Chains A and B, each alone.
Chain A
Amino acid sequence: MSTIPGVVAINTFREAVRDRVLYNLIFFALMMIGASILVGEISIGISRLVIINLGLSAISIFGLVMAIFIGVGLVHKEIEKRTLYTLLSKPVKRWEFLVGKFGGLLLTLTVNTALMTIGLGAALYYVSRSFLRTDASILVAVYFILLELGLVTALALFFSCFSSPMLSTLFTLGLYVAGIFSTDIRDIGMLTRSPATQAAARAIYYLLPNFHNFNAITAAAHGESIPVSLIWQNTAYAASYVVLVLAAASAVFSGRDLK
Chain B
Amino acid sequence: MTGRSHSRSLRFALVAIPLFLAIVLLQTRIDAETRTIAQQKEELLLRSGPLLKKLSLGYDSLLADIYWTRAVQYYGSRVGNVGEKFELLWPLLDVTTSLDPKLMVAYRFGAIFLSEPAPMGADRADLAVELVKRGVSANPDDWRLESDLGFLYYWHLKKYPEAAAAYLEASKKKDGPVLMKMMAAEVAAKGNSFSASRAIWTEIFQTAQDPSTKKNALQHLQSLQAQQDLLALDKYSEDYRKRTGRYPTTAREIYESGVLSGIPVDPAGIPYIFGPDGKAQLDPKSSVVLDKPSNGPPR
Contact = CB atoms under 8 A, between A and B. Distances in A.
Contact of A53 (B54, B61, B73): B61
Contacts of B109: 44-45
Contacts of A44: 72, 105, 109
Interface stretch (B62-70, B145-153, B176-184, B274-282): B62-70
A218 B100 contact: yes
B65 A53 contact: yes
Contacts of B54: 181, 184
B83 interface: no
B57 A43 contact: no
B123 interface: no
- The prevalent SS among residues of A at the interface is helix
B58 A212 contact: yes
Contacts of B103: 46, 49
B59 A46 contact: no
- The prevalent SS among residues of B at the interface is helix
A177 B102 contact: no
Report which residue of A45, A180, A217 has the largest number of chain B beta carbons within 10 angstroms of its beta carbon: A45
Interface string B42-71: 000000000000100111111011001100
A155 to B, nearest CB: 16
Contacts, number: 54
A153 B57 CA distance: 18
Given A42-B73, A44-B109, A49 B65 contact: yes
Nearest to A45: B105
Contact of A43 (B58, B59, B60, B69): B69
A49 B68 CA distance: 11
Report which residue of A44, A61, A177, A181 has the largest number of chain B beta carbons within 10 angstroms of its beta carbon: A44
A218 B60 contact: yes
Contacts of B58: 60, 180, 211-212, 215, 217
Contact of B72 (A42, A60, A180, A218): A42
Interface residues of A, number: 25
Interface string A157-199: 0000000000000000000010011001000000000000000
B61 A221 contact: yes
B65 A43 contact: yes
Contacts of A54: 62, 65
Interface in A40-58: 42-46, 49-50, 53-54, 57
A191 to B, nearest CB: 15
A45 to B, nearest CB: 4
A46 B102 contact: no
Contacts of A76: none
Interface in B73-109: 73, 100, 102-103, 105, 109
Contacts of B64: 53
A54 B73 CA distance: 19
A46 B61 contact: no
A85 B103 CA distance: 55
A94 interface: no
A16 to B, nearest CB: 25
A22 B59 CA distance: 23
The 9 nearest A-B residue pairs measured at CB: A45-B105, A218-B61, A43-B69, A53-B62, A57-B62, A215-B58, A222-B102, A57-B59, A53-B61
Interface of B: 54, 57-62, 64-65, 68-69, 72-73, 100, 102-103, 105, 109
Given A45-B109, A217-B59, A224-B102, 8 more contacts: A42-B73, A43-B72, A45-B105, A46-B68, A53-B61, A57-B59, A60-B58, A217-B61
9 contacts: A42-B72, A44-B72, A45-B109, A46-B68, A53-B64, A57-B59, A57-B62, A212-B58, A217-B59
Interface of A: 39, 42-46, 49-50, 53-54, 57, 60-61, 177, 180-181, 184, 211-212, 215, 217-218, 221-222, 224
